[in-house]
């Protein structure tokens, strides 16, 4: 690249109508190169070379935008290709136990074919190999489907938009449609969507920690105008000129150097993996003992026959069979289906929650929300609709009800013109919002709901946004700050002189006033009667659940320098406005549902305490035995007082970000609660991060809040939060069902094989049969039980909380009861089966008996799977047809079992059974259901 002082525009760039190339722009911003920037004419010069009007943005006709894309690229990022299906197959083949079984299959073929010939000698080896492939392909298919689900969810996470000016019109646009030359509007909480240059703005602080790791914010001005993709606006607002997009940005280059990691394991997965490890070790012990017993039986027989030191091919095959049985005991004992069940359940829940307007960003959030005992909820936009309007005002000491049509015009008629002019100047200049015209010439208000409500009042009073903004020159802006709870602006007036306007929380701004405007338009000192009148008005508005804001101004007689802070006192009160934000439909019912589910809902808001209490009572949050407290009072309490106070707090008003953080921290650590926090602003980020689960609002939420959250509530509705809790509980319960089901099979399989090996010298189930049982138990069982949808009964029980046992007493009762029944059945068949079937006219065949034992064991499995749908309720069939996955798994299992028994013969070591033998197996399996009813009704236990 040539130096900028003799920079030559590449021909292809010049032919496209631009005067600077992408590489030069990249070097300027990435290198923070002020010298190069100056040589290009500064920010305005770069804008001109990009064909951009600093006020109106780029031309948005298709041909112009296409040329821009061709020269500078698009704001998209190259992502790593997702794994193919065959990669999942390859990974599944690397399972250690399956590799050992594969070795067994190979040895079986090597020994079996020479000794027994083809195809008889290959049956065992091919049977094991086929079973391994079936397990591998089913596992790979499940994992592949899950990866596709996560890919879809990832697309949803990337739906981020920003405000952009093109062709003079300001609109919201996806960050992926941005091009160099675009004018982007950023405010506190936004993420910088591309590399660019600062055009104009106020008090801009950028958090670059995501790129540099430095926590200290960077001040951005015209002297240091460089903005980097991926950083966040910590304070202030600005207009940014986009210069570099996509993979050319700092963020794009960083992402290119990183390989996408796998999903972190959830806490429940970690816990269950520990359980799986213990069970696996127990299984390995029993496998070794079983192998040792079988070998000892074999050697004992050979000793009696006098062939101890002779080794034939049959002996080698027998030894190999014993080893295969031992390995398959390990395969059955190791519950590898546990992590699969967790992943499937979470992925299923995540997909379904998307339909319910909840985007889960972290897997662990599902199960954590199911255990939550406390929800600390924001008020505005979560409990309320966030569609605000000014319904009452007290301008120039006169109270007016503005909810009546035409009341604004009436107010304008009796207030002095000087007051109206001052009010409109305050409304239209001291704001973070805008009034714009769209392409159809229709007026549109942009900004937060609060700003929009006040701007709407200004328009109703006959004000013109553009006229008012053009009349004065803005000298300094201090955007709204959650700590100060106010915002301010200094204006240079057209007639000369300077004036400061401030707006914010009524009590705070009123405390900064020592004068007020009366109904005649005169400025008078604030005496005790006036202060009482205004405070009473604030309380009355707040008691009607109105959010109150105070507007005030200050004449700056000694001038003002933009390096100074805007004064914090000496103001003249213009008036107070009361803004209505109705409670969302269904919130009261959702709060009542939470209470019945053992979840305590607390409101934490920055609003006036009277407003907060009125809304909390309307929602059903504030009860007679609860406490409403203000942030400043809360933070003055000592540790002992906090410990007594916190359990009773239901409403915290006028809270700072750290008040919310402190409350959440104490609830989690001191009281051992599982806490969910909702929030939408940058100020909520500390609490969202501290909470066990953070829920950010998708519509009103800032990018900082969303980045700090685990779940994004796409419709900003409290009812959706309750839905998330219900799904979380469903995930937890479903995995408990699966563990109950799997442990039952584990206990029976281990006990039966160990008993048989010790007593008879052989195992009743072959390696192929055990692998089939293992697949029913692990993969198919996980699919069936992990995808059960939630029901309303889930919200009628207490939450598990932080200390609840995962395998509870109810599960142990069901596991031991079913295991004992199944073991007795198989023991009876092994010990008395020959006599029983011989007396009933059936041929005395070990193969028939072993097939019946295998078939009976599978159907005991299957009916126990149905039993596991409900751990406490008697009616386990309720809603079974609504879960098509469960029905499909059961149906396919039965079909494959028929094929294995009737048609696979020596391949699976089975023989076709008669109708009555099938009926016997199914009937014995079905008896597990009334036994489950008996256990639930006669042996009730506490979870």
- Residues with catalytic roles: 378
Across 557-704, where does the E strand assignment appear?
571-580, 600-604, 627-630, 649-653, 675-679, 693-697
The answer to whether 937 touches 872, Cβ cutoff 8 Å, is no
Pick the closest to residue 374 from 708, 585, 603, 654 (CA basis): 603
Helix 767-775 vs helix 313-333: angle between axes, to the nearest 10 degrees?
Answer: 20
Tokens 């909820």 appear where? Answer: 377
Q: From CA 509, how far away is CA 940, in angstroms rounded?
A: 62
DSSP 526: -
Q: From CA 688, how far away is CA 726, in angstroms rounded?
A: 20
Coil, helix or strand for 133?
helix
DSSP 779: I
- Distances in Å between the Cα of 395 and the Cα atoms of 433, 535, 578, 784, 790 are 21, 14, 11, 65, 52
Q: From CA 207, how far away is CA 478, in angstroms rounded?
A: 18
- Could you give the maximum distance between any two Cα atoms of the chain, in Å? 124
Contacts of residue 604, defined as CB under 8 A and 6 or more positions apart, other chains included, come to 376, 377, 378, 652, 655, 659, 660, 663, 687
The helix or strand, by DSSP H or E, that contains position 204, with its residue range, turns out to be strand 195-207
Helix 337-355 vs helix 267-305: angle between axes, to the nearest 10 degrees?
Answer: 150
The answer to whether 413 touches 398, Cβ cutoff 8 Å, is no
Q: Is 398 exposed, middle or buried (0-12, 13-18, 19+ CB in 10 A)?
A: middle
Instruction: Indicate if the alpha-carbon torsion angle 410, 415, 416, 421 is positive or negative.
Output: negative
Tokens 């509007």 appear where? Answer: 185
Contacts of residue 899, defined as CB under 8 A and 6 or more positions apart, other chains included, come to none
Q: From CA 821, how far away is CA 925, in angstroms rounded?
A: 10
Residue 173's φ and ψ, nearest 5 degrees, are -150, 145
Contacts of residue 561, defined as CB under 8 A and 6 or more positions apart, other chains included, come to none
**Pairing mode of beta strands 443-446, 169-174:** unpaired
Instruction: Indicate if the alpha-carbon torsion angle 462, 467, 472, 477 is positive or negative.
Output: positive
The answer to whether 731 touches 365, Cβ cutoff 8 Å, is no
Report residue 71 as tokens. 């020269």
The helix or strand, by DSSP H or E, that contains position 866, with its residue range, turns out to be helix 846-867
The answer to whether 727 touches 717, Cβ cutoff 8 Å, is no
Report residue 656 as tokens. 């700072």
The CB-side HSE value for 862 (13 A sphere, CA atoms) comes to 24
The answer to whether 114 touches 121, Cβ cutoff 8 Å, is yes
Q: Is 526 exposed, middle or buried (0-12, 13-18, 19+ CB in 10 A)?
A: middle
Q: From CA 633, how far away is CA 360, in angstroms rounded?
A: 36
Q: From CA 100, how far away is CA 917, in angstroms rounded?
A: 35
Tokens 């990249």 appear where? Answer: 26
Which residues are bridge partners to 59 per DSSP? Answer: none
Instruction: Give the DSSP letter string of 470-539.
Output: HHSEEEEEEEEETTTTEEEEEEE-TTSSEEEEEEEEHHHHHHTEEEEE-TTS-EEE--HHHHHHHHHHHH
The answer to whether 678 touches 698, Cβ cutoff 8 Å, is no
Residue 610's φ and ψ, nearest 5 degrees, are -70, -40
């Amino acid at each position: 690249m040539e130096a900028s002082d003799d920079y030559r525009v590449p021909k292809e760039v010049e032919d496209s109508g631009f005067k600077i190339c992408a590489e030069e722009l990249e070097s300027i911003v990435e290198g923070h190169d002020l010298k190069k920037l100056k040589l290009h004419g500064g920010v305005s010069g770069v804008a001109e070379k990009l064909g951009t009007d600093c006020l109106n943005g780029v031309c948005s006709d298709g041909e112009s935008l296409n040329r821009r894309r061709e020269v500078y690229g698009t704001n998209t990022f190259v992502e790593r290709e997702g794994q193919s299906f065959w990669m999942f197959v390859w990974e599944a083949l690397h399972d250690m136990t399956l590799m050992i079984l594969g070795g067994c299959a190979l040895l079986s073929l090597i020994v079996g074919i020479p000794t027994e010939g083809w195809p008889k000698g290959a049956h065992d080896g091919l049977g094991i190999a086929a079973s391994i492939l079936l397990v591998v392909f089913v596992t790979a298919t499940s994992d592949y489907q899950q990866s596709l689900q996560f890919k879809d969810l990832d697309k949803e996470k990337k739906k981020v938009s920003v405000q952009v000016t093109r062709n003079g019109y300001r609109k919201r646009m996806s960050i992926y449609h941005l091009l160099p030359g675009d004018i982007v509007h950023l405010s506190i909480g936004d993420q910088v969507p591309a590399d660019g240059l600062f055009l104009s703005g106020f008090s801009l602080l950028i958090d670059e920690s995501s790129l540099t790791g430095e926590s200290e914010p960077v001040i951005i001005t015209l002297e240091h105008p460089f903005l980097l993709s991926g950083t966040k606006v910590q304070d202030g607002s600005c207009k940014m000129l986009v210069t570099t997009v996509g993979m050319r940005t700092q963020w794009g280059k960083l992402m290119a150097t990183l390989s996408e990691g796998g999903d972190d394991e959830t806490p429940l997965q970690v816990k269950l993996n520990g359980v799986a490890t213990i069970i696996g070790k127990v299984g390995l012990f029993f496998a070794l003992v079983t192998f040792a017993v079988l070998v000892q039986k074999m050697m004992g027989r050979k000793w009696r026959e006098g062939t101890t030191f002779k080794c034939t091919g049959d002996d080698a095959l027998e030894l190999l069979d014993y080893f295969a049985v031992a390995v398959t005991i390990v395969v059955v004992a190791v519950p590898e289906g546990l992590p699969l069940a967790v992943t499937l359940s979470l992925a299923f829940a995540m997909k379904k929650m998307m339909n319910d307007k909840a985007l889960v960003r972290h897997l662990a959030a599902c199960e954590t929300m199911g255990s939550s005992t406390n929800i600390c909820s924001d008020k505005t936009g979560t409990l309320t609709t966030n569609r605000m309007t000014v319904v009452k005002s007290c301008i120039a000491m006169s109270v007016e009800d503005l909810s009546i049509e035409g009341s604004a015009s009436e107010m304008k008629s009796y207030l002095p013109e000087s007051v109206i002019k001052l009010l409109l100047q305050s409304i239209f200049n001291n704001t973070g919002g805008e009034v714009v015209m769209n392409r159809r010439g229709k007026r549109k208000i942009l900004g937060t709901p609060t700003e929009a409500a006040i701007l709407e009042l200004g328009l109703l009073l006959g004000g013109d946004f553009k006229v008012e903004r053009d009349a004065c020159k803005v000298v300094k802006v201090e955007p709204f700050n959650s700590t100060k709870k106010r915002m301010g602006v200094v204006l240079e007036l057209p007639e000369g002189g300077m004036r400061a306007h401030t707006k914010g929380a009524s009590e705070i701004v009123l405390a900064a006033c020592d004068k007020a405007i009366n109904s005649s338009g005169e400025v008078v000192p604030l005496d005790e009667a006036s202060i009482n009148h205004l405070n009473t008005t604030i309380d009355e508005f707040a008691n009607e659940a109105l959010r109150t804001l105070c507007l005030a101004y200050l004449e700056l007689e000694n001038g003002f320098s933009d390096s100074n802070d805007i004064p914090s006192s000496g103001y003249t009160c213009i008036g107070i406005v009361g803004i209505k934000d109705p409670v969302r439909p269904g919130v009261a019912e959702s709060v009542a549902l939470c209470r019945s589910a053992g979840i305590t809902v607390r409101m934490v808001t920055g609003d006036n305490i009277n407003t907060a209490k009125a809304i909390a009572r309307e929602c059903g949050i504030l009860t007679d035995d609860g406490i409403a407290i203000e942030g400043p009072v809360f933070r003055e309490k000592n540790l002992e007082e906090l410990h007594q106070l916190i359990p009773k707090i239901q409403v915290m008003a006028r809270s700072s970000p750290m008040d919310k953080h402190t409350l959440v921290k104490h609830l989690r650590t001191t009281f051992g609660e599982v806490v969910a926090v909702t929030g939408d602003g940058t100020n909520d980020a500390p609490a969202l991060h501290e909470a066990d689960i953070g829920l950010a609002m998708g519509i009103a939420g800032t990018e900082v809040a969303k980045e700090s959250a685990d779940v994004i509530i796409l419709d900003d509705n409290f009812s959706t939060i309750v839905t998330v809790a219900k799904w979380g509980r469903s995930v937890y319960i479903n995995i408990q069902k699966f563990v109950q089901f799997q442990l039952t099979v584990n206990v029976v399989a281990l006990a039966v094989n160990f008993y048989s090996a010790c007593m008879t010298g052989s195992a009743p189930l072959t390696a192929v049969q055990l692998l089939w049982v293992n697949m029913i138990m692990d993969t198919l069982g996980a699919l069936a039980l992990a995808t059960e949808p939630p029901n309303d009964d889930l919200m009628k029980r207490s939450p598990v909380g932080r200390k609840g046992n995962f395998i509870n007493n109810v599960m142990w009762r069901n596991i031991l009861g079913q295991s004992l029944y199944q073991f007795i059945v198989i023991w009876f068949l092994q010990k008395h089966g020959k006599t029983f079937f011989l007396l009933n006219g059936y041929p005395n065949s070990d193969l028939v008996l072993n097939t019946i034992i295998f078939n009976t064991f599978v159907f005991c499995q299957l009916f126990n799977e149905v039993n596991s749908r409900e751990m406490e309720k008697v009616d386990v069939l309720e809603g079974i047809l609504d879960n098509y996955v469960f029905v499909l798994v059961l149906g396919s299992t039965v079909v494959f079992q028929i094929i294995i028994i009737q048609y696979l013969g020596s391949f699976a070591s089975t023989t076709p059974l008669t109708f009555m033998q099938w009926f016997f197996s199914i009937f014995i399996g079905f008896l597990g259901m009334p036994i489950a009813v008996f256990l639930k009704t006669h042996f009730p236990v506490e979870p």
